């Protein structure tokens, strides 16, 4: 029988050897002159931010990206000393925390830049910030078309240091090369205007997809996210960089039940056996992030073979049909995501069943699912 960690049998394994491998492949792709800002927001895409950041910090990473001040503080409390960029915006009420924990906020508009500069002056402190400019994403960021209205402000700042400037591609995964190159061109126009104003902040624009497909976008720094965790932004990129999945998700059979033909399984009677069947119940459900949309769609792996999910995924339990798999026993390992023997279920495959993307699969795995970190 597979040796399981103590505690709840439903758990995720995090392979730090694969994480280090993926970082090494990124370094190989970008070369020695380009720095790496690793994205560890959303609990490192569900992988465990603190443990992931520790490994990356020891493996040549240069900075970290988080979404919120709270995520940054979590890393600082665990003695992560590298620069931490807070990407999703900050509020003046958070200034004390930014200063105390030496976090670098991203500023998206001129009004916030003015207010923050005044507030930092009131503390008689200095604070590094970075600017985001909108070159075509259409979410947040200083407008490239309105650069003449906000550029003069940068020279008037007293307490803020412009440590970096960046933008975000909207479509680097697809074949829409014209739009992507147009975004890069707009960003270079902004950089040129900054140079004329004797401002030279570090520039970055390439997330995972552009890091692979568009070397011209590497600039001073890149921002890998999904590829750190071993997944490809698009299938065609498998030919360009060799990655290893970092996360696996496993559980165990909690009960086996022989069900005659005509037996309904689960809420709503969405599955009824057509033959004498063996139904296995698993201690995992949508409260763990195993999505309800996987009902009657997904497969799992038992004894090296695929078994279909049957009936509705409920909050804490999921049922599978193991009729065609020999000698399944209570306590057997079941792979929800990952590899067992020669069979594998990827996050992309699970995402297709759930009509979503692999990012959401990873980040939806709940906090009550323990992560076990293999750092060898």
- CB distance 356 to 3 below 8 Å: no
Q: Residue 71 and residue 43: Cα distance in Å, rounded?
A: 8
Catalytic residue among 28, 125, 267, 375: 267
Residue 94's closest CA among 116, 79, 122? 116
- Catalytic annotation on 41? yes
Catalytic residue among 41, 229, 232, 286: 41
Residues belonging to the chain: 376
- CB distance 137 to 114 below 8 Å: no
Residue 84's closest CA among 111, 56, 116, 122? 56
Report the greatest alpha carbon distance in the chain. 78
Residue 297's closest CA among 306, 289, 288? 306
- Catalytic annotation on 286? no
Cα separations in angstroms, 125 against 102, 160, 239, 311: 11, 9, 49, 60
Long-range (24+ apart) CB contacts under 8 A made by 257-266 are: 257/281, 264/311, 265/310, 265/311, 265/319, 266/295, 266/310, 266/311, 266/312, 266/314, 266/319
* Three-state DSSP class for residue 195: helix
Residue 210's closest CA among 184, 242, 238, 246? 184
**What are the structure tokens assigned to 220, written together?**
């001073």
Pinpoint the alpha helices (H) of the chain: 16-30, 41-46, 49-57, 69-77, 95-100, 110-122, 147-154, 177-196, 208-213, 347-353, 358-364
Using only C-alpha atoms, what is the Rg of the chain? 24
| Residue numbers annotated as active site | 41, 267
């Amino acid at each position: 029988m597979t040796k399981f960690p103590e505690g709840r049998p439903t758990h995720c394994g995090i392979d730090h050897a694969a994480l280090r491998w993926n970082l090494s492949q990124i370094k190989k792709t970008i070369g020695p002159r380009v720095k790496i800002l690793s994205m560890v927001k959303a609990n490192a895409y569900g992988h465990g931010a603190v443990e992931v950041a520790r490994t990356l910090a020891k493996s040549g990473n240069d900075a970290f990206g988080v979404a919120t001040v709270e995520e940054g503080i979590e890393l600082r409390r665990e003695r992560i000393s590298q620069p931490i960029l807070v990407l999703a915006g900050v509020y003046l009420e958070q200034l004390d925390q930014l200063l105390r924990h030496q976090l670098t906020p991203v500023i998206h508009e001129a009004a916030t830049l003015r207010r923050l500069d005044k507030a930092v002056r009131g503390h008689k402190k200095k604070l590094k910030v970075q600017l985001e400019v909108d070159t075509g994403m259409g979410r947040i960021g200083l407008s490239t078309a309105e650069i003449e209205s906000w550029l003069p402000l940068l020279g008037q700042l007293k307490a803020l240091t412009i440590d970096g400037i960046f933008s975000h591609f909207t479509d680097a995964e697809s074949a829409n090369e014209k739009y992507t190159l147009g975004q890069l061109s707009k960003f270079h126009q902004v950089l040129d205007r900054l140079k004329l104003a004797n401002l030279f902040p570090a520039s970055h624009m390439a997330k995972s997809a552009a890091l692979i497909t568009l070397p011209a976008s590497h600039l001073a720094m890149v921002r890998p996210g999904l590829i750190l965790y071993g997944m490809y932004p698009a299938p065609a990129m498998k030919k360009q960089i060799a990655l290893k999945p970092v996360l696996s998700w496993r559980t165990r059979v909690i009960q086996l039940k022989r069900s005659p033909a005509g037996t309904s399984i689960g809420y709503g009677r969405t599955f009824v056996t057509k033959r004498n069947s063996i139904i296995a119940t698993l201690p995992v459900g949508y409260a763990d992030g195993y999505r309800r949309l996987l009902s009657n769609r997904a497969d799992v792996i038992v004894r090296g073979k695929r078994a279909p999910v049957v009936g509705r995924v409920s909050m804490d339990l999921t049922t599978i049909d193991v009729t065609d798999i020999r000698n399944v026993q209570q306590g057997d390992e079941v792979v929800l995501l990952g590899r067992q023997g020669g069979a594998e279920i990827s996050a992309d495959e699970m995402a297709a069943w759930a009509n979503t993307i692999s990012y959401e699969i990873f980040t939806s795995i709940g906090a009550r699912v323990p992560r076990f970190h293999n750092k060898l």
